[in-house]
Structure 1
């Protein structure tokens, strides 16, 4: 099975602008089928959900089909898919709901590797409940966060562990299944921020052992949304604050106000687009997603290695993405040079690679980079070998 990059790129109107996009970790470009799905939802009758009119039925259909598509993507059940404005918003919502069950003396674990959206909501909720926050560290020399790093801060008072599925800063993928086993042995829940992970590998909620798993479709070719997957039975045990007349059914009890139906239609289309990358005919969408991500991972790993080989020729470049298992995401610093200047120089050459800490403040500080971070290079399904050549050439020119 081969990956037809020309056919893939032809589906992205934004590529006609001529830029090489290495800013996918901050948000990917959008393929035509997703754009069309959003437009179709707006173009057809649409109203609040119901069954009496075509507009109501269209809304019902969009929500149901989107939950099913996202469940296929994440190895979950449709009734365990919660839809929200963003992964950050969902982390705040669930932290406040779960904190209702915490007491002084209880403990919550967060990590130095995470995006702040999977740290600060839990730190703040713990403070309000009188619970203690414990920090799991990672090795800045290797970028690794091990199961032992988490085990060392677990106790019989641990109520929740918040952990990234993959670092949006340096790409590190912690051993989630092993950590999940330790967390559950301690009697705690595991909340996984899968925003960066979901764009690059096949996710299976049960295999990972996550009790809650969040992601954002705009990181995998879709619109701006937040998604959380959990077991319906677990969601039934939680009592979020909600309006009196709003539904108490799961997952609706966690969704505030009217859902953005056109964006949901786009998220459904993004999942279908990903499922088509593997060019596998027949089988269900889950099977096609499995084949597609296997192909995508293989290709992105090869492109990442090509970038790393090219970077090795630059004596003044330090690569901070070193974990054995990682996404195709590289964080660089440049000896004697400001990466913000490099970002601007590359942008003038039509190469988009931003500079910063990208809300992963704790990770950036632990790496010794302060709040400035570095130059981040991230791959997406539409990146080509030519993109990489342009990146390396422009970076070489900047360093000269």
Structure 2
């Protein structure tokens, strides 16, 4: 199918002032209909969920629609979709619940490729439980995380493997199914951070092999909240700390306090916006077609951008075979912060840092400072690439 990026860009009020947004890995811009869904929910009659009042029924329907939308996006059961304040908050809560069953002699496997939200919560939970932590390294020269770098650390004592589906810093996409097979052979769980991945590729949680999958709608055109998805039967086996009068039903037992109905309405609208970019007899089918088209569009732009950066003498810190359209770069003779500030002055958003992937930044030899991150989104276009490369060429020549 053809992908009309110029038509799609008309949906984003933030693009009207001419800013080039290369900061999508930190959060995408918001389409008009997503913002409208939030506003409509907040200005309509809304109450706590019940079946007796129109406002209560509206709240209930908003929640069910959001679970169904995420179910279609990730190909999971809506009854296993948990909403929370953020992916980080959900991971902390889930790590505490799982670690309640760990003890000395148990092990968990983490990686240096991950965002710290899929590292520190597990390290801290393991430390409290007396479990051991094994940390897998990726190849800093290529950005690749070989499956055996993880699977060689898995033993009969492994209880959990936590791994990103795509690095938010350098874009690397590990071979999750291979790692999942070994994880499940020893009866361990695979917890997958899909925050960066979900924005750039069709997702099927079962095909990836994830037992638990987390993501953030604000990375794929939606509002700021977090999502955790798992088999409802698995969630039934877990008993998190909760308030006594709160529901013990799944998935509600994992959701602390009243849900933000407006954010859930915005999440549904974001999924529907993505689905509108594709075609199919169902929303799931339309999403698969849409995300395949988005991936093709973004990969083409990434190849253009990467070629241009290399011609300018930039160092790119991952050349992994499978990547998202996210490049971490450093330019000769120019500090990362100078590049960031100079681009910002020209209306080009391209921040510098480690973006909470602190273990990844250290392993790349960048310390905690990271480098300049250039990320693409479904609304990125060739003009954005042209403007960025032209401004970078001026900076490099000036140096």
* 2:380 is equivalent to residue 383 of structure 1: yes
- 1:18 Cα offset (Å): 1.2
* 2:116 is equivalent to residue 82 of structure 1: no
In 2: Cα distance, 1:364 partner to 1:85 partner:
26
- 1:399 Cα offset (Å): 1.4
Does the Cα contact within 8 Å between 2:145 and 2:174 map onto a contact in 1?
Answer: yes
* 2:92 is equivalent to residue 92 of structure 1: yes
In 2: Cα distance, 1:320 partner to 1:230 partner:
33
Gaps of 5+ in 1: none
Does the Cα contact within 8 Å between 1:171 and 1:321 map onto a contact in 2?
Answer: yes
Q: TM-score with structure 1 length normalisation? A: 0.98
Dislocated runs of 4+, deviation >3 Å:
none
- 1:260 Cα offset (Å): 0.4
Does the Cα contact within 8 Å between 2:141 and 2:318 map onto a contact in 1?
Answer: no
In 2: Cα distance, 1:336 partner to 1:369 partner:
15
In 1: Cα distance, 2:163 partner to 2:55 partner:
40
In 1: Cα distance, 2:93 partner to 2:187 partner:
22
Does the Cα contact within 8 Å between 1:5 and 1:382 map onto a contact in 2?
Answer: yes
* 2:390 is equivalent to residue 393 of structure 1: yes
Q: TM-score with structure 2 length normalisation? A: 0.99
1:361 to 358, 368, 380: 358
Does the Cα contact within 8 Å between 1:339 and 1:374 map onto a contact in 2?
Answer: yes
Q: Deviations over 1:355-389 (max 9, x none)?
A: 00000000000000001100000000111100000
In 2: Cα distance, 1:5 partner to 1:265 partner:
25
In 1: Cα distance, 2:324 partner to 2:30 partner:
20
Indicate the residue corresponding to 1:144 in structure 2.
144
Q: Deviations over 1:167-201 (max 9, x none)?
A: 00000000011110010012100000000000000
Indicate the residue corresponding to 1:213 in structure 2.
213
In 1: Cα distance, 2:149 partner to 2:275 partner:
35
In 2: Cα distance, 1:23 partner to 1:397 partner:
21
Does the Cα contact within 8 Å between 1:192 and 1:213 map onto a contact in 2?
Answer: yes
- 1:339 Cα offset (Å): 0.7
Which structure 2 residues correspond to residues 107-118 of structure 1 after superposition, within 5 A? 107-118=107-118
Find the residue that maps to 1:214 and give its secondary structure: strand
Indicate the residue corresponding to 1:60 in structure 2.
60
- 1:321 Cα offset (Å): 2.1
Indicate the residue corresponding to 2:153 in structure 1.
153
In 2: Cα distance, 1:396 partner to 1:259 partner:
48
Find the residue that maps to 1:277 and give its secondary structure: coil
Indicate the residue corresponding to 1:319 in structure 2.
316
Indicate the residue corresponding to 2:22 in structure 1.
22
Q: Deviations over 1:120-159 (max 9, x none)?
A: 0000000000000000110001101121011111111000
Does the Cα contact within 8 Å between 2:154 and 2:183 map onto a contact in 1?
Answer: yes
In 2: Cα distance, 1:262 partner to 1:99 partner:
32
Find the residue that maps to 1:291 and give its secondary structure: helix
Does the Cα contact within 8 Å between 2:332 and 2:396 map onto a contact in 1?
Answer: no
Find the residue that maps to 2:58 and give its secondary structure: helix
In 1: Cα distance, 2:151 partner to 2:162 partner:
13
1:291 to 289, 302, 311: 289
Indicate the residue corresponding to 1:72 in structure 2.
72
RMSD: 0.7
Does the Cα contact within 8 Å between 1:321 and 1:329 map onto a contact in 2?
Answer: no
- 1:252 Cα offset (Å): 0.3
- 1:5 Cα offset (Å): 1.1
Which structure 2 residues correspond to residues 204-283 of structure 1 after superposition, within 5 A? 204-278=204-278, 280=279, 282-283=280-281
Find the residue that maps to 2:213 and give its secondary structure: strand
